[in-house]
Amino acid sequence: MYRLTLFHIVWFLLFTFCARAQQQDNMDKFVSDLMTKMTIEEKIGQLNLVTGGEAITGSAVSTGVETKIKAGQIGGIFSMSSPTKIRAAQELAVKHSRLGIPIIFGMDVIHGYKTMFPIPLGLAATWDMTLIRESARIAAVEASADGINWTFSPMVDISRDPRWGRISEGSGEDTYLGSRIAAEMVRGYQGNDLTANNTLMACVKHFALYGAAEAGRDYHTTDMSLHRMYNEYFPPYKAAIDAGAGTVMTSFNDINGVPATANKWLMTDVLRKQWGFEGMVVTDYTAVNELIDHGFGDLQTVSALALNAGVHMDMVGEGFLTTLKKSLDEGKVTEQEINEACRLVLEAKYKLGLFDDPYKYCSEERAKSEILKPEHLAKAREIAGKSFVLLKNENQLLPLEKSGTVALIGPLANSGPNMPGTWSVSADLGNTPSLLEGMQVVLGNQVRIVHHLGANLMSDAKYQERATMFGRAIPRDERPESEILAEALEVAKSADVIVAALGESSEMTGESSSRTDLDIPDTQRRLLDALLKTGKPVVLVLFTGRPLTLTWEQEHVPAILNVWFGGTETGKAVADVLFGDAIPSGKLPATFPKNVGQIPLYYSAKNTGRPLAEGAWFQKFRSNYLDVDNDPLYPFGYGLSYTTFAYSDIILDKNSMRSGDKIKATIALSNTGNYDGEEVVQLYIRDLVGSVTRPLKELKGFQKVFLKKGESREIAFEISIEDLKFYNNNLEFVAEPGDFKLFIGTNSRDVKEATFSLR
């Protein structure tokens, strides 16, 4: 039986290898045959990615779209949806262009399509890889049902600066967590068969280092060592590529003085030669044209530089379309470079099955039956609830009783369009329930809810306008602030408890939404202070797309529930958690600083040659500040529950290992509180002596564990040599013999310790 089983395994692997080789041969032959029929202008046309245009949508940045499609001058269209519109555009290409090459249709499907899930930073806070993959799978089902076959996601940029608005789009500060999530998102989008009509080709972005923009200012310069690149910022991109991501998008920033879109070392040496990526590279929006402002020449020059670097598709700018033929004639680009770019675009379409059936994503029946399905909404509600992070719960104020009167007060209490968060471009904002509406649905007549605006989002109308872009206006009262506040306090008098819905609006984070002040806006802080002075218990429901500076709130507010922006079902999910139908289990994927001056602040920092003594606030001639300690307000991995968990000491099955060995680390986890609940058990490792400076801690594993109240369970991790490897100064991926510390705990700060060695 053993031999038979082994035979079948070998036979299956051989069959799979041969089948894939045959598929590759078939694709190579098809694309090669097609390219022999194409003119150089048609090949260049395949490299042109535009917005919808007047032929389909009536209004877009790109112009003359219909004419260009018929002329074979467009390879892809983005930000167009609905089977009818996409079929119309596809028919122009298939029936009216000379060779009938189908178009690929993309969209920023970032955290859901019509059914919106938490913003990516919130998804990361679930620490639940199964749910994250399911969210991407549902997004793919819905978007593909509406005609789309390519998503500009996942965004895997590591960011340790919450001033940067796009931190909301990624998975936070950590390399390991970010890598795990990147791979799961790709698997969710692409499924097991890209030719199926319910999958999307993934596009990992932004390659590379975009999240490290100086001063947290979007599009700004990025400058770092190769050591930091390879060890801390590159791994999530590589994880997405190893998971099979079909495409990669360039970033806006420069790297070693060369913008990513023109950076041959990055796009060819690293991406293709070192990592073996075989797919297509697309620019971000007008990134080729922006090389001019970087100081790299005119449009013809920078377009040639981008193609030379290894970029294959030009988003919106049409530098490729309008200049590459001239550059070819002048010897600034080669026909081989154009052919290679064209081939990769055509291969992406082949992998999606578009040559077999260009209209496979154009089914009105699917659009009607597979979008906003009840089971999708139920999953969105579950995931939203698991993304919320309980930051404080003094005297077990939460969960609230389902009785009496609750005052729901704040500018975000009754603003449904803000619930999905940034980059929810396809969401039906007009039909998204607000927190007030969600609470009314969940609680029915059990609880009397009274509501008031309480304060405007901000005191400055100009900033108010900026924070409510894209039609997501939140209520604004033009009366004096004192008058609005007095009325809110009058409403609060009748309540047993106050729920304050405060924080950022959805578009205060995201692209081009950097901030230098990370406090809750001034008007809201004054409202919160006044609510606290009523003497009634106050729960802060905090909406945010980034870590905020909450030092004052942590000191004064008895309960704080960070709900990010939870998607379509935010209102119901918040009500579930506030009233105990769901137990919070989220953990922070990014450190919350005490003030902006500590930024960048992250758990995996280096020790320095003059470290501050543990537990010390200030020491002369040590690495610290005069006015604040080095500690965060809330550390990476932090999050409370309505129950409590106790960790035993760590037991190692041995104290040393060699290459090929594994060490098993075990703890006993006990639910010692009064509720069933989930805990994210986190494993960190520190390399105590190395050939280069090593971080104080690095996340190397985690398990999300459900325990009934009173239940205990043994939790085990296996540590292999792969967990100890890093890139040394020669960029060799090695594990060096020596001593290590191992930590297991509820967050990056509160841990048990053990030591072991690698021989």
Active site residues: 284
Residue of 213, 217, 211 whose CA lies nearest to 232 = 211
Angle between helices 319-329 and 299-309 (to 10 degrees): 90
| Run of H or E residues at 486 | helix 481-492
| Run of H or E residues at 130 | helix 129-145
Note whether 236 and 175 are within 8 A (CB).
yes
Structure tokens at 163: 């001033």
| Run of H or E residues at 344 | helix 335-351
Structure tokens at 355: 């040559």
Residue burial 109-140, b: 16+ Cβ < 10 Å; e: rest: bbbbbbbbbbbbbbbbbbbbbebbbbbbbbbb
Q: Half-sphere exposure (CA, 13 Å, Cβ side) for 285?
A: 11
Residue count (the chain):
759
Residue of 126, 185, 112 whose CA lies nearest to 429 = 112
Residue found under tokens 């089948």: 19
According to DSSP, the β-strands at 280-282 and 247-250 are: parallel
Note whether 518 and 547 are within 8 A (CB).
yes
Taking residue 254's Cβ as centre, other Cβ atoms within 10 Å add up to 21
CA distance 341 to 332: 15
| Residues contacting 276, CB < 8 A, separation 6+ | none
According to DSSP, the β-strands at 738-745 and 677-687 are: antiparallel
- For residue 218, the SS3 value is coil
Q: Half-sphere exposure (CA, 13 Å, Cβ side) for 244?
A: 14
According to DSSP, the β-strands at 48-51 and 76-78 are: parallel
Structure tokens at 666: 């075990």
